[in-house]
Amino acid sequence: MRLDRLVGKWAGTGKRRTREFFKNGEVLLNGERAERGGLVIGKFDRVELAGEVVQDRRPRYVMLHKPRGVVSATLDEEHVTVTDLVDQEWAGELHLAGRLDRYTSGLVILTNDSAYSESLTAPEQKVGKRYLVGLDGVMGEEVISGLQAGMWFAKEQVMTEPALLDLLSPQECRLTIYEGKHHQIKRMFARYDLRVTQLHREAIGTQELPSDLGPGEWREFHPESS
Ligand code: URA
């Protein structure tokens, strides 16, 4: 957004009066006198007018251990949502960087930084999401090679990237997928008449769910430092 628009909107002033604020040196951008109203600023830039704060939002990055039963939404009239669990006044600023189904548990990332969430969710980024999967039946060779080869999803008209599969037992595996299609893992196994009985997300890209973060708990992190 243009700096003069933000300031004018906040102060409720017209173009001429807003220009005067800049001429008089009353506008500070990140602590420095701002002279050019036409400058395009980001939502995390700090803006002051005559000593009052116009905008001062900081980027937030939250990792949350979503328990089963909680919905991956910011608002829901019936169910507890992931943002309900972040009991902070700034929780309303957050959006999800990739959802989990209601009965899937594990790592959910919430942020107010859309560039960061896009870096995790945009299909071309091919960020791996690792899950622990439990099944109601045995995974045969056909299932394993099918998942590893990639799969055609007709509804979305996409071929999935080859999944990484690490067999833990005949009915349990670690699976890394590179998309976030609706019910993707359940749909993948359903092709082979297998039902997913347990699904838990352990990691999104380089972000691992910390072992000391219990169901329902969350913490802030900084993407570069983790
Ligand atoms: N695949 C699913 O089926 N559900 C999820 O929540 C995530 C991946």
Q: How confident is the model at residue 226 (pLDDT cuts 50, 70, 90)?
A: very low
Angle between helices 15-23 and 3-11 (to 10 degrees): 110
The answer to whether the CB of 199 is under 6 A from ligand 1 is: yes
> How far, in Å, is the centroid of ligand 1 from the Cα of 89?
29
Kindly report the backbone phi and psi dihedral angles of residue 86, in degrees, each rounded to the nearest multiple of 5, phi listed first: -90, 90
Residues 74, 96 contacting (CB under 8 angstroms): yes
Co-location of 149 and 114 in the same domain? no
Co-location of 179 and 221 in the same domain? no
Q: Which of 4, 101, 136, 166 is catalytic?
A: 101
Co-location of 28 and 90 in the same domain? no
Co-location of 177 and 132 in the same domain? yes
108 within some domain: yes
Co-location of 43 and 84 in the same domain? no
Co-location of 138 and 150 in the same domain? yes
Among 30, 55, 80, give the residue marking a domain's end.
55
Q: What value does the mean pLDDT take over residues 62-68?
A: 98
Structural domain span for residue 166? 128-204
Q: What value does the mean pLDDT take over residues 86-105?
A: 95
Q: What is the CATH number of the domain that holds 98?
A: 3.30.70.580
The neighbour count for residue 176, using CB atoms within 10 Å, is: 17
Q: What value does the mean pLDDT take over residues 13-17?
A: 97
Co-location of 169 and 182 in the same domain? yes
Q: What value does the mean pLDDT take over residues 114-127?
A: 94
The answer to whether the CB of 186 is under 6 A from ligand 1 is: yes
> How far, in Å, is the centroid of ligand 1 from the Cα of 185?
5
Task: Determine the residue of 135, 186, 189, 201 to mutate for testing ligand 1's pocket, defined as the one with the most ligand atoms within 8 A of the Cβ atom.
Answer: 186
Co-location of 78 and 107 in the same domain? yes
The answer to whether the CB of 185 is under 6 A from ligand 1 is: yes
The answer to whether the CB of 101 is under 6 A from ligand 1 is: yes
Question: 122 vs 40, 114, 126, 127, CA distance in Å?
Answer: 25, 11, 7, 8
209 within some domain: no
77 within some domain: yes
Q: Which atom of ligand 1 is nearest to the CA of 72?
A: 6
Co-location of 29 and 89 in the same domain? no
DSSP per-residue letters across 104-154: -EEEEEEES-HHHHHHHH-GGG---EEEEEEESS---HHHHHHHHH--EET
Side chain identity at 15, as an amino acid letter?
K
Lookup: tokens for 219: 């913490």
Q: Which atom of ligand 1 is nearest to the CA of 187?
A: 3
Q: Which residues contact 24 (CB under 8 A, 6 or more apart)?
A: none
Co-location of 139 and 119 in the same domain? no
Lookup: tokens for 39: 């400058």
Question: How far from the centroid of its chain's Cα atoms is residue 124's Cα?
Answer: 16
101 tagged catalytic? yes
Q: What value does the mean pLDDT take over residues 146-171?
A: 95
Q: What is the CATH number of the domain that holds 174?
A: 3.30.70.1560
Count how many domains the chain has: 3
What confidence tens digit (pLDDT) does each residue in 19-34 have?
Answer: 999 999 999 999 999 9
The answer to whether the CB of 204 is under 6 A from ligand 1 is: no
Q: What is the CATH number of the domain that holds 18?
A: 3.10.290.10
3-state secondary structure of 219: strand
pLDDT of residue 75: 87
Co-location of 158 and 193 in the same domain? yes
